[in-house]
């Protein structure tokens, strides 16, 4: 790379870091506030809130990077125009295609960052968050078990615990279940534990008795037990995940073992193909948006008032690009076999960029009023 390329690239990277930091902070704080309200209301600690907000960070960065790259490209060109640097570069013979080279390299660097995010970091963070949400849900279930008072976690169910030991044991537990309507079962036990399982948390009672009253004839059946398991997860509408989301699985396992992924996610093969191509196309939006904004700003000449009209046109182009991306995502969800549509937004932006670079590189004719007539001019 020449000194000019390194200079432009350094300017773009510095501005990109600034805009990315600002946008990520704003977006992340907005999500953190919502998570804080929800988790604190559920009785979670500040450490759990911090963990959840950290797990949302990779997806926030993925969303913000193309916009930050676009803002860096537009701001760098506008500042170079105001400082007459762009005019000097063009006066030395640098064509729009030549000036676009470091911008393309910058876009590819951002695309590599996004590739790492969409294929590895974002799925890993979503999988970890899903597991932690399940654990937090089970903790919320345990929070309903309060010692020394009668609790009614569901209609027809009453639980009383005399004491909860420091080891987490529930001492002298009473549980009445009248949900069946025709029968009423009362469980009493000297101690109990809440045990997590694949199908949700279970209440394991030891050294107790179960009394079942049949309401039709008022008959009572009694059974003593050494240990008995009660599904408290189903009682409190808490159940383990029956399937994984495709967004929680990295791209490499999807390509290596698609049958296993289909069994885990219960998705059709076409849906797996769609998600893989969606992840492959997402990093292309960074160089496409950056080059689009750069090419639009090259259409304007030097002005003391800046390139505000071109900046407005570049922002409008970014909005159209995002609108097209959202439309493609919606279309492919209903028709997964049309996975090729994911490449249309980036391809369209790059095609428009090529057209604008060609147009800005055309020789511009001066107005006829600015030229002197060939006849009638004396020495």
Tens-digit pLDDT profile for the chain (379 aa)? 788 888 889 999 999 999 999 999 888 887 777 777 666 655 566 677 778 888 888 999 999 999 999 999 999 988 888 877 777 887 777 788 888 999 999 999 999 999 999 999 999 999 888 888 777 766 655 555 677 888 887 788 888 988 888 777 889 999 998 888 788 999 999 999 888 777 667 889 999 999 999 888 888 899 999 999 888 766 655 445 557 888 889 999 999 988 888 888 888 889 899 999 999 999 999 999 999 999 998 886 555 556 788 888 999 999 999 999 999 999 999 998 999 999 999 999 999 999 999 888 776 544 454 444 444 444 3
Are 78 and 202 contained in the same domain?
no
Name residue 171's beta-bridge partners: 163, 191
**Can you give the pLDDT at residue 41?**
55
**Can you give the pLDDT at residue 167?**
78
**Can you give the pLDDT at residue 143?**
57
**Can you give the pLDDT at residue 71?**
94
**Can you give the pLDDT at residue 18?**
95
Are 121 and 153 contained in the same domain?
no
* Total structural domains within the chain: 2
**Can you give the pLDDT at residue 317?**
92
Are 253 and 321 contained in the same domain?
yes
Are 156 and 185 in contact by the 8 Å Cβ rule? The answer is no
Nearby residues of 17 by Cβ (< 8 Å), 6 or more positions away: none
At 364 the three-state DSSP class reads coil
Are 134 and 251 contained in the same domain?
yes
For residue 81, the tally of other CB atoms under 10 A from its CB is 20
- 48 in any annotated domain: yes
At 111 the three-state DSSP class reads helix
Are 187 and 275 contained in the same domain?
no
At 138 the three-state DSSP class reads helix
**What is the C-alpha separation between 64 and 23, in angstroms, rounded?**
6
For residue 31, the tally of other CB atoms under 10 A from its CB is 15
- 88 in any annotated domain: yes
Residue ending a domain, among 235, 258, 277, is 235
Are 176 and 210 contained in the same domain?
yes
Helices 285-297, 344-360: crossing angle, 10 deg rounding: 20
**Can you give the pLDDT at residue 250?**
92
CA distances from 90 to 96, 216, 311 (A): 8, 95, 20
- 163 in any annotated domain: yes
Residue ending a domain, among 235, 255, 281, is 235
- 377 in any annotated domain: no
Are 104 and 85 contained in the same domain?
yes
Please provide residue 123's backbone torsions phi and psi, each rounded to the nearest 5 degrees.
-60, -40
- 153 in any annotated domain: yes
Are 263 and 231 contained in the same domain?
no
Exposed / middle / buried, residue 191 (Cβ in 10 Å: 0-12, 13-18, 19+): middle
**What is the C-alpha separation between 113 and 115, in angstroms, rounded?**
5
Nearby residues of 259 by Cβ (< 8 Å), 6 or more positions away: none
**What is the C-alpha separation between 56 and 60, in angstroms, rounded?**
6
**What is the C-alpha separation between 184 and 180, in angstroms, rounded?**
7
CA distances from 207 to 124, 225, 314, 366, 372 (A): 43, 6, 74, 99, 110
Are 290 and 74 in contact by the 8 Å Cβ rule? The answer is no
**Can you give the pLDDT at residue 44?**
64
- Give the tokens for residue 19: 């805009």
Please provide residue 247's backbone torsions phi and psi, each rounded to the nearest 5 degrees.
-70, -15
Are 131 and 269 contained in the same domain?
yes
Are 289 and 310 contained in the same domain?
yes
**Can you give the pLDDT at residue 306?**
61
Are 213 and 358 contained in the same domain?
no
pTM over 0.75: no
Backbone conformation region of residue 58, classed left if phi is above 0, alpha if psi is from -120 to 50, else beta:
alpha
Most distant pair of Cα atoms in the chain: their distance: 128
Sheet harboring 157-164: ordered strands across?
150-154, 157-164, 170-177, 183-195, 202-214, 219-230
- Residue ranges making up the domain that contains 155: 145-235
Are 23 and 103 contained in the same domain?
yes
**What is the C-alpha separation between 58 and 119, in angstroms, rounded?**
11
**Can you give the pLDDT at residue 37?**
67
- 375 in any annotated domain: no
């Amino acid at each position: 790379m020449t000194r000019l390329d390194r200079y432009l690239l350094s300017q773009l990277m510095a501005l990109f870091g600034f805009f990315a930091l600002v946008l990520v902070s704003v977006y992340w704080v907005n999500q953190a506030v919502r998570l804080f309200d929800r988790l604190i209301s559920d009785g979670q600690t500040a450490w759990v809130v911090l963990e959840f907000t950290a797990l949302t960070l990779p997806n926030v960065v993925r969303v913000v990077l193309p916009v930050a790259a676009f803002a860096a490209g537009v701001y760098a060109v506008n500042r170079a125009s105001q400082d007459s640097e762009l005019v000097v570069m063009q006066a030395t013979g640098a064509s729009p295609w030549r000036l676009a080279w470091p911008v393309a390299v910058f876009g590819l660097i951002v695309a590599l960052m996004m590739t790492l995010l969409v294929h590895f970091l974002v799925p890993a963070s979503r999988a970890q968050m899903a597991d932690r949400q399940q654990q937090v849900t089970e903790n919320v279930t345990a929070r309903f078990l309060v010692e020394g008072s009668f609790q009614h976690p569901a209609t027809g169910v009453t639980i009383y615990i005399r004491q909860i030991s420091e080891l987490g044991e529930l001492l002298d537990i009473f549980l009445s279940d009248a949900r069946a309507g025709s029968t009423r079962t009362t469980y009493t036990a000297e101690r109990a534990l809440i045990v997590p399982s694949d199908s949700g948390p279970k209440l394991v009672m030891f050294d107790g008795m179960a009394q079942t009253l049949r309401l039709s004839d008022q008959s009572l059946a009694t059974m003593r037990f050494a240990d008995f398991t009660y599904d408290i997860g189903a009682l409190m509408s808490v159940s383990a995940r029956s399937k994984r989301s495709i967004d929680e699985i990295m791209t490499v396992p999807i390509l290596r073992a698609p049958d296993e992924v289909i069994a885990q996610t219960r998705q059709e093969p076409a849906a797996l193909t769609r998600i893989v191509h969606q992840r492959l196309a997402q990093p292309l939006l960074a160089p496409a948006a950056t080059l689009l904004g750069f090419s639009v700003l090259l259409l304007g000449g030097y002005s003391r008032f800046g390139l505000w009209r071109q900046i407005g046109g570049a922002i409008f182009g970014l909005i159209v690009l995002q609108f097209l991306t959202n439309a493609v995502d919606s279309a492919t969800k209903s028709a997964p076999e049309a996975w090729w549509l994911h490449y249309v937004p980036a391809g369209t932006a790059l095609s428009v960029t090529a057209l604008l670079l060609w147009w800005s590189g055309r020789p511009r004719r001066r107005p006829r009023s600015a030229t002197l007539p060939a006849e009638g001019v004396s020495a």
